[in-house]
Amino acid sequence: MSGASAVFIMDMKGKVIISRNYRGEVPMNVTERFQQNVIDADEAEVKPVFNEDGINYCWIQYNNLYLLAVTQRNSNATLILAFLYRTAEVLRDYFNELEEESIKDNFVITYELLDELMDNGYPQTTEVKILREYIKTSSNAMSIEQMRPPTAVTNAVSWRSEGIKHKKNEVFLDVVERLNLLVSSNGSVLRSEILGALKMKSYLSGMPELKLGLNDKLLFEAAGRSVSKGKSVEMEDIKFHQCVRLARFENDRTISFIPPDGEFELMSYRLNTHVKPLLWVEAVVDPGRSRSRIEYMIKAKSQFKSRSVANNVEIHIPVPSDVDSPSFKTTIGTVKYVPDQECIVWSIKQFQGQKDFIMTANFGLPSIGSGENQDGYMKKPMSVKFEIPYFTVSGVTVRYLKIIEKSGYQALPWVRYITQNGDYQLRMV
């Protein structure tokens, strides 16, 4: 399996901002062919991986940049694409935001990172915490001791340094799920999807081994245990942090790992499942007889259990672009008109489960106006923002989190569940 021969970072016109030729196998003007096949080509014909004159091209787009890797050898395209995405994340972490200007302002550090991320075309150190130990954003006089690479670079566990010590050994695990939902005006769910992530903050001494158990349907089936409906979930598109032992997971669905120190995302998953709207919003719009005023009646109902509470709820309702003289009435929260977004925003700090509330809004309309302009806004969907703590819409549950370390110290694991809105929309018509 071969890696990449060279890596280029280019602007949206295909001009090279910075490049690193690892093997000297390919001419550096290969970006001209990339421009012809990607930037100047028809969108329907563009491919993320293609071959031209014996050279393989793998590329990604990140904000206003192209990251391109080329090789003449028979390389693993998935490995190279994963490396490009990882490179983008490392650069974003260093520069806060990855775009054309941030590369131009940080040429030296970018070159240093490209040298450390890949060696002779093979991915090497891609963990930001380890890279930060010897690639500093500010120039410092380094002692001989500091110039030695961290032990993690030469260690089997490349994402964690040895000798880490904490006064208090703790692990925080957040199960965060985002709900993407599209609902028609009659209440039928047209699209629903759950995107989940297990985010960890690890403050553990030494080299601890962690074992995590979830109510994973395939795990229960592998163990020969019968599971009643609703007690397990079937996850799709699971993606793990590099610290997870994949062979162990494939064998018996056990999530076993030595965690990096500090914050990281342990895994992400997707569930393509039918979900009832957690917050149902209904809009009744009365244009009025004179067409000089328009009135809204918005009804919001929480359809989750009464013991749960949705925090910082925001309901965005589209309105015509030419309305004026807003007035609102509501039994809860606050309402404001946002002309820039052509909508009204109904904000409710805490929305308890199994409750419903009504808000009315009145606007003036210009005496001369296009009916089409005034009715077009109805085609835009309403959107909802919210966060529900101590709740997962999929039913994912952490069954156990074991911490094993040779010194035998006691550590405290903390687990939280949070459900948030993703692309959560409800049609008005």
Q: What is the pLDDT of residues 385-427, one digit of tens each?
A: 999 999 999 989 999 999 999 888 888 899 999 999 999 999 9
Within this chain, domains 170-275+393-426 and 279-389 share the same CATH topology: yes
pLDDT at residue 24 in the model: 87
Class of domain 279-389: mainly beta
Helices (H) and strands (E) in the chain, counts: 10, 23
- CATH 2.60.40.1170 for the 170-275+393-426 domain, yes or no: yes
Is residue 326 within 8 Å of 380, Cβ to Cβ? no
CA distance 86 to 62: 11
pLDDT at residue 270 in the model: 93
- In the predicted model, residues of the chain with pLDDT beneath 70 are 1-2, 137-156, 218-231, 288-290, 367-375
pLDDT at residue 217 in the model: 73
Classified as helix, coil or strand, 331 is: coil
In the numeric block, which tokens belong to residue 150?
A: 């961290």
CA distance 160 to 150: 9
- Choosing among 3.20.20.70, 1.10.530.10, 3.30.450.60, 3.40.50.920, the CATH entry for 6-126 is 3.30.450.60
How would DSSP label each residue in 240-274?
Answer: E-TTB-HHHHHHH--EEE-PPSEEEEEEEEEE---
Query: What is the domain partition of the chain in residue ranges?
Result: 6-126, 170-275+393-426, 279-389
pLDDT at residue 226 in the model: 52
Alpha-helical runs (H) found in 338-425: 371-376
Is residue 294 within 8 Å of 285, Cβ to Cβ? yes
Q: How many CB atoms lie within 10 A of CB 277?
A: 19
pLDDT at residue 73 in the model: 86
Among 173, 177, 183, 172, smallest CA distance to 388 is for: 177
Among 281, 285, 253, smallest CA distance to 269 is for: 253
Give the dihedral of Cα atoms 153, 156, 160, 165; nearest 10 deg.
-110
Q: Residue 422 belongs to what H/E stretch?
A: strand 412-426
Q: Which residue has the tokens 């974003």?
A: 92
Pairing of strands 398-404, 343-352: unpaired
pLDDT at residue 418 in the model: 96
